[in-house]
Structures are given as C-alpha cells and as structure tokens.
Amino acid sequence: MSCVSVCCLRDAINDKNNKKNLVILQSSVAASVQLLQQTRHRRMRTACAAWNDSWTEHHQTNLVVSHDLRTVFCIVNEAASTSWLRVLLRLSGNPAAQFVAATDRTSVHGMFQLYLEPVTTPLTGDPLKNYFKFLFVRDPLDRLVSAFRDKMFRSYKYVRLRTDIIRRFRHQQSYRYAQRTDSRSILKVDLSDFVKRF
C-alpha cells in the first residue's frame, strides 16, 4: 500500500461525513493488495519454472507416513528429524518400533522405514489428503553449523569426507600432517573448508 493511500485513508476516516469516499477508498486499497498478491504469485511461479520445480510433484524420499497416527512427516536434515522419527516410532505402539526408537540415531535412520512407510501417492489424494502433515525447519546458518559439527566432530563414519576436505582445500599442509591418520589430525577441518566442499 502506498504512502498516498495511507494518507487518503486516514483523511477519509477523520472525515465522518464522507463515508461514501471511505468505501471507495477501501475497495481501491483491497484491489491494490490483491494486485500485489497476484504479482507475487506470478513471480513465484516464474522462479519455480526456472528451477524446473513444481508444487504438485511429491518427493517421496523425505516424506514418511504413519497410517495409525494419520500423519505425514517431512524429514528435514539437521532440524530435529531424528527426534521426531523417534517420537513417531514410539507412538506407533509397535514394540519393535519402540526398540528402534531407543537405539542410536544411525539405527533410527536406517530402520525407521520398517515401521513408517514412505509416501508413494500425491498428498492431495486419498487417504493422505485428510492426514495431518508437518515438518520442522531451522535457521539455515544454524543448520550449516550443526551439519559441520555433526560430520566433522561427532560421527566417525565421515572420516573419509574429512580427509577428502583436508586434501582438497588445505594446499599448504605439512608432510607430517599429511602422514598422520589419527582422529586428532582428521578432526582439524575448518568451517570454511567444509563450506567449500559443498
């Protein structure tokens, strides 16, 4: 809404005898807001088309469904996905699923598909259209730092990734450093090198 529209609206409200002008002004403001929304939708459709993305396509890889709970959960890495998978597994009531929920996160991510189904149909079709759908998001910089700390400091299954980052981006490393393979030398990956890798 432009500054002129706001001033005109204020003047029209102050003038109690001018109700007809107020109605006309309100309808013009509503029309300008609607035009702004249409422009935003058009811009979004153009951007999605440029990326060859679609709002109607379903991406099964990150969606899991629990028919017992009538829920669809979208897994977003580094945004509490393991915790929510554990919650869904515990709520399923299946003792085997509850056992998986109590294990380490690698097992949870490796075995949750035995108890929670991947989405194979569009979310707008039966029976999923009436299910509760949810996901959790996180600030992108927090996700980046979380991924860095997780992959470079906590998990030992990313040792090869760490050594690859060091070899690719640390051009001035000493011979002694290059020969060491213990965990202390491997853990010395900078955030800037991690960002360059991805």
User: 140: Cβ–Cβ under 8 A, 6 or more apart, which residues?
Assistant: none
The tally of domains found in the chain comes to 3
Confirm whether 55 is domain-assigned: no
Q: What is the mean pLDDT of residues 193-198?
A: 80
Are 180 and 164 part of one and the same domain? Answer: yes
> Where does a domain end: 96, 113, 134?
134
Are 67 and 126 part of one and the same domain? Answer: yes
The dihedral region occupied by 78, where left means phi > 0, alpha psi between -120 and 50, and beta the remainder, is left
Task: Provide the residue range defining the domain that includes 170.
Answer: 140-197
The reported pLDDT for the residue numbered 87 is: 93
End-to-end CA distance of the chain: 41
The CA distance from 58 to 86, in Å, is: 24
Output the pTM of the full model. Answer: 0.57
| 2-57 pLDDT per residue, tens | 555 555 555 555 555 566 666 676 777 788 888 888 888 888 778 767 766 555 55
Tell me which of 23 and 1 has the higher pLDDT. Answer: 23
Identify residue 146 by its one-letter amino acid code.
S
Tell me which of 92 and 16 has the higher pLDDT. Answer: 92
Are 130 and 144 part of one and the same domain? Answer: no
Q: What is the DSSP string of 62-109?
A: GEEEETTTTEEEE--TTSSHHHHHHHHHHHT--HHHHHHHTS-HHHHH
Are 126 and 161 part of one and the same domain? Answer: no
